[in-house]
Amino acid sequence: MAGGSPNFGARRNGARPELVVIHYTAMSSVGAARDRLCDPAAEVSAHWLIGADGVTEPLVDEGLRAWHAGAGSWAGQPDVNSRSIGIELDNRGHEPFPEPQMHSLEVLLAQILDRWSIPPEGVIGHSDMAPDRKYDPGPKFDWCRLARQGLSIWPEPLVAIPADQARFRHLLTMIGYPDCADIPRLAAFRMRFRPCHAGPLDARDMALACDLAARFGQDGAQWRAD
């Protein structure tokens, strides 16, 4: 695949893609985003850029390390750039993602997951891996739509579980969220699974996190019986 950005390097320590990180560009146009992602002085890039019209552009070869994730971690592992493929969506962050763009994302995601044997739980948002500093792809992004096609995950909790901050913190760590303050972690979790919901930790948050922890093959099911 020919790439259009000079901002890349080799994946470190023999890492291979096991995550896909979804971003929004937060810029005025896809052209402005392309210019920045291809500017050596900016020192940022992504493997793919998808315009609002659905046009999909390769910027960095998937086998190489693009500079899209920055500081953060997932599942206890830092250097997400070496372990991931980054997809930038032309969106300023406060508007719905158009149908042509979502369709193109679904086609691309299916190809990437198949190409690299990445499971649906490996598709995350930038805010998931860096909840104390990133917001994208934001509350307007339709994660449930991706999950219906097996391109991401969505919780289906069976029962409500009393709010317990220590347990919730443990469950989010089991899911993969990095260790940071409770407030940004809860905000990132809700932005993905309960968009626009506010207020203190509640039983619904607990049930969603419990179901996801169980889906990740962890022992989150233990909380169901409490």
CATH of the domain at 61: 3.40.80.10
Q: Do 37 and 31 meet the contact criterion of CB atoms below 8 Å apart?
A: no
Residues assigned a catalytic role: 88
Does residue 114 form part of some domain? yes
What's the average model confidence in pLDDT over 124-147?
A: 97
Q: Report d(CA 159, CA 204) in Å as an integer.
A: 9
pLDDT over 60 (residue 2): no
Q: Are residues 180 and 92 in the same domain?
A: no
Q: Identify whether residues 17 and 57 lie together within a single domain.
A: yes
Per-residue pLDDT at 223 exceeds 90: no
Q: Which two tokens stand for residue 120?
A: 């649906």
Tell me, yes or no, whether 153 lies in a domain. Answer: no
Collect all residues with Cβ–Cβ distance below 8 Å to 22 and sequence separation of at least 6.
Answer: 87, 89, 105, 123, 124, 125, 126, 136, 137, 141
pLDDT of 156 > 50? The answer is: yes
Question: What is the rounded average pLDDT of the residues 170-183?
Answer: 95
Q: What pLDDT is attached to residue 215?
A: 78
Could you list the residue range(s) of the whole structural domain that residue 209 is in? Answer: 165-220
**Of 178, 88, 182, whose CA–CA distance to 141 is shortest?**
88
Same domain? For 144 and 169 the reply is no
Is 23 a residue whose pLDDT tops 70? yes
In a domain, 26, yes or no: yes
Residue 24 lies in a domain: yes
Q: Is residue 191 predicted with pLDDT exceeding 60?
A: yes
Are 133 and 192 within one domain? no
* Total domain count, the chain: 2
In this structure, is residue 70 part of a structural domain? yes
Is 49 a domain residue?
A: yes
Q: Do 182 and 142 belong to one domain? A: no
154 falls within a domain: no
Q: Is 173 found in the same domain as 142?
A: no
Q: Are residues 54 and 85 in the same domain?
A: yes
Are residue 137 and residue 171 in the same domain, yes or no? no
Indicate if 100 and 191 belong to the same structural domain.
Answer: no
Pair (63, 100) in one structural domain: yes
Residue 73, Cβ neighbours under 10 Å: how many? 18
Let me know if residue 2 belongs to a domain: no
pLDDT at residue 51 in the model: 98
Average pLDDT, the chain: 93
Would you place residue 217 in the very low, low, confident or very high pLDDT band (cuts 50, 70, 90)?
Answer: low
Percentage of residues in the chain having pLDDT higher than 70: 94
Cis peptide before 137 (omega within 30 of 0): yes
On whether both 83 and 43 belong to a single domain, the answer is yes
